[in-house]
Amino acid sequence: MRADRLVATLLLMQARGRVTAAEVAQELEVSVATARRDLEALSTAGIPVYPQPGRGGGWSLVGGARTDLSGLTAAEAQALFLLVGPAAAVAPEVKAALRKLVRALPDTFRADAEAAADAVVLDPARWGERPRDRSPVVELLQRAVVGRRKVRFTYAARGRARAERMVAPWGLVDKDEIWYLVGGTERGQRTFRVDRIADAEVTGETFDRPEGFDLSSVWEQVVTEVEHRRSLVSATVLVAERFVFVLRDQYGRHCEVLGPADDGRVRVRLAAPTPLMIAQPLAGWGAMIEVEDSPEVRAELARLGTELVARHTRPTP
């Protein structure tokens, strides 16, 4: 996992003072290109890691060789923990490494580093959408989560007018590059999609997380509720194996491959909140796809086909 390598790379640099990408690659048993990307990631995240070109150059940790993290500033430590912290939710060894790193930090900003390590959760499963460009609001929200400062922003939920919100940001979730904010409001816990947030500002008002709050567990509950709403209807379809990846891209985790059919095609189960939401993406497939069951989905496909024929058929001149 990449977070493991980032921590290992930083510790290697602390031990040696200066390393080359080739040395990191050999030590961590990765390619030179991968090692170079990891070094660049540490540098761009705000860690004091800089390249030195020329003969005898390499990558150096500003301040020289060190065996602990006491040389990092508060901002640099937060940058490191925001970078590698999300992996701790899915990799126990990363969590153990972060605990060791926290103990090596000065008491003056250890709490902020711990908050940064618990500020973000990774969820690689897509909800049937293509990743978007990262919103610039993410960095602002990260600072608010770590600093325990409430944020004020305007938000446009789907199908609703934009409204101003005051939120205690408890944590962020990176769901395959689509970001979500989990926070507390006057009406209780709410989840906000970050790319629908505008005019965000960090206020001076502080907050405390609920006692026993665990971002990973809370997000798992959110996903369970959303998945239940998104999979109320299902249909089994037959499609050529080479097109299965397209269905996976369209339906995300609601596309389940059941196995090969007798005619050489693949049997796939699709799910969505309504029959129409299953039928609409399938309408463009024409005869390349066949719905085996679900009379409701078949009826919606027939209706859509009739509408298309009526709308686009032109009389012969």
Which of 243 and 60 is assigned the larger pLDDT? 243
Range of the domain at 21: 2-118
Same domain, residue pair 79 and 174: no
Q: Which of 194, 212, 229 is the last residue of a domain?
A: 229
Q: What are the C-alpha distances in Å from 185 to residues 28, 170, 193, 212, 224?
A: 45, 11, 15, 18, 21
**Confidence (pLDDT) at 133:** 62
Q: What are the C-alpha distances in Å from 15 to residues 8, 46, 170, 237?
A: 11, 20, 35, 57
Query: CATH number, domain at 39?
Result: 1.10.10
Which of 243 and 3 is assigned the larger pLDDT? 243
Compute the mean pLDDT over every residue in the chain, rounded to the nearest whole number: 77
**Confidence (pLDDT) at 173:** 83
Q: Is the pLDDT score of 215 beyond 60? A: yes
Instruction: Write out pLDDT tens, residues 131-190.
Output: 556 677 888 888 888 788 999 999 987 767 889 999 999 988 877 678 899 999 998 999
Q: What is the pTM of this model?
A: 0.48
Instruction: Write out pLDDT tens, residues 113-128.
Output: 555 455 555 555 555 5
Q: Is the pLDDT score of 299 beyond 80? A: yes
Domain count, the chain: 3
Same domain, residue pair 239 and 216: no
Question: In sequence order, which ranges of the chain are alpha helices (DSSP H)?
Answer: 2-16, 21-28, 32-44, 74-84, 92-103, 110-117, 137-147, 215-230, 244-251, 275-283, 295-312
Same domain, residue pair 83 and 12: yes
Residue 273's Cβ-count burial label (10 Å; 0-12, 13-18, 19+) is middle
Q: Does 203 reside within a domain?
A: yes
**Confidence (pLDDT) at 56:** 65
Which whole number is the average pLDDT over 248-260? 86
Same domain, residue pair 214 and 266: no
Same domain, residue pair 6 and 113: yes
Which of 300 and 49 is assigned the larger pLDDT? 300
- Please report which confidence band the pLDDT of residue 103 belongs to, taking 50, 70 and 90 as the band edges: low
Tell me the C-alpha distance between 152 and 137, whole Å: 12
Which whole number is the average pLDDT over 206-221? 86
Same domain, residue pair 219 and 303: no
Q: Is the pLDDT score of 69 beyond 80? A: no
Q: Which of 71, 96, 118 is the last residue of a domain?
A: 118
Q: Which of 118, 133, 167 is the last residue of a domain?
A: 118
Which whole number is the average pLDDT over 21-49? 81
**Confidence (pLDDT) at 29:** 81
